[in-house]
Chain A
Amino acid sequence: MPWSKKRGQRTLGSPSAGIAGEVAFSAAAFLSGVFGFSLVLISQYAPQQVPEQVSSEALSSSLSSWVMGIVSIAAIVIGATRLVFRVMHLNASDELRSVIATKAAALERLAPGQSSDTGLPNVPRGRAITDSPGEHLTYRLPMVTGQDGILGPALLAWFWNTAWIILLAVVVSGFWIGRPRWILTGLLVPFALIGRWSFLYFVTQMKQRLGVGPTVVEINDHPLKPGGIYDLFVSQAGRLKLKRLSVELVCEEETFFRQGTDVRVERHQAFGKYLSRERDVEVDPQVPWEQQFRVEIPKDVMHSFAGTHNAIRWKFVVKGDSRPWPSFCRSYPVVVHPPGSTQNLNQP
């Protein structure tokens, strides 16, 4: 009917483009604010650098200086708030964030001695692994991303480019008053290159978050035991053209050691078994890549172990080498018990 409300799923542009535009606008507002505020500060606290034809008294008390300062601070606050909000909420619904927050509070730290009540000292309980039922198999395994978070690259790009903008303001003010700072001017170029790299790195990470859909891994039984055979279901969603996609069972030794005042961590893959290695995989939003495998845990392997400085961790790793999105690597930890153990940690 011509007067009824228009219905349908048509949207103007893609959501990703909207998010990218919002991020770009927020970043531009923030950096403009920093630039303007830097100029105000220079004029206020370095009056000797103000051009001779302009009275420093007039400048410090001028209304325009105050207006410029207030507008700059407002731009900084608005830009920073929107930027942080948008980056923190990338690719996550309110429900997902709530679940993650709840899980993070309840997620068991794989610390030593926690399983002594089950008769398996220094074997992690992994109760958080089995608290989510699966759709195809019994348990849906929780994910631990092997990739870095987006907050680090965002902060790096943010702080570095902010510092660069301040430096630019100082250089511009130097030219303005007729006393150019040539060394600082020369430094602007290499600093700009570093700022460009940090920004591109941030964009790469953001693209990865936006482009790679969720990976679901489900298993029919847990904990695992050496010699046991298990069903594993893996699903990769999103809109991807993957050059390679692999699913691997991995046992990793992890050790912490002190080197001077630093605490370092070293990892070594003690066991690895590919369950799937496919090339040229296409994933469509309507048709996710789905596979079910049978996994046999070898008989003579070490069980999961968690000491204070050393650990042996088992996990399923899903790796994708994708274009145009960057590669991704997602881990799904599991607990392997020693052979012959009868403890069922899924019981309360």
Chain B
Amino acid sequence: MEELQGLEVSVLWHTEGKGDEDLHVHHFQRINEASLKEIGVESQQSIHCVLPATPLSYHGQLIRLSWCVRMRLFLEDGREILSETPFYLVTDAQRAPCVAIPGEDDESHEPSQDKSAVVRQSRAAQTRSALASLRRD
């Protein structure tokens, strides 16, 4: 506990894929050393923010758009510990993020069987319940 200097919690979306990354922080919270000592790290804390309607989570061929809660812990010796928990932003009508749909007469539009995408989906599904406090407007 004495080693901790600060903590940042952010709710953000970012893109992954072939192109350069786009990143937008929707909610940001920084807890300084004094507050951190006061709150403690043993007890569970919840964050509340109203998510925007867009951009929705998307798994495409060139672009993947992912939402996550990112926590960055600053230690006194200058080190940082980063933890990231992904989640889906979907509409009420959806149960999974949008994916690229193969086009007609185009064999290159086969749906991606990328293992990492499957793993991410699985992880995201697991963390969805843990982030039930995040509400969409």
- Please report A residues at the B interface, Cβ cutoff 8 Å: 112, 119-123, 227, 250-251, 253-258, 266-274, 298-303, 305, 307-310, 312, 338-341
Contacts and interface: CB of A to CB of B under 8 A. Distances in A.
B6 interface: no
Given A273-B103, A312-B63, A255 B18 contact: yes
B98 interface: yes
B61 A339 contact: no
B62 A122 contact: no
Interface string B10-38: 00000101111110100000000000000
B92 interface: yes
B19 A256 contact: yes
A249 B69 CA distance: 35
Nearest to A309: B20
A250 B103 contact: yes
Interface of B: 15, 17-22, 24, 52-56, 58, 60-63, 65, 91-94, 98-106, 108-109
B22 A112 contact: yes
Given A112-B22, A339-B93, A340-B93, A121 B54 contact: yes
Contacts of B109: 269-272
Nearest to B15: A310
A120 B54 contact: yes
B19 A257 contact: yes
B55 A273 contact: no
Nearest to B20: A309
13 contacts: A123-B55, A253-B61, A256-B20, A258-B20, A272-B106, A272-B109, A274-B104, A302-B60, A307-B55, A309-B19, A310-B20, A339-B94, A340-B91
Contacts of A298: 101
B15 A270 contact: no
Given A299-B93, A340-B91, A307 B15 contact: yes
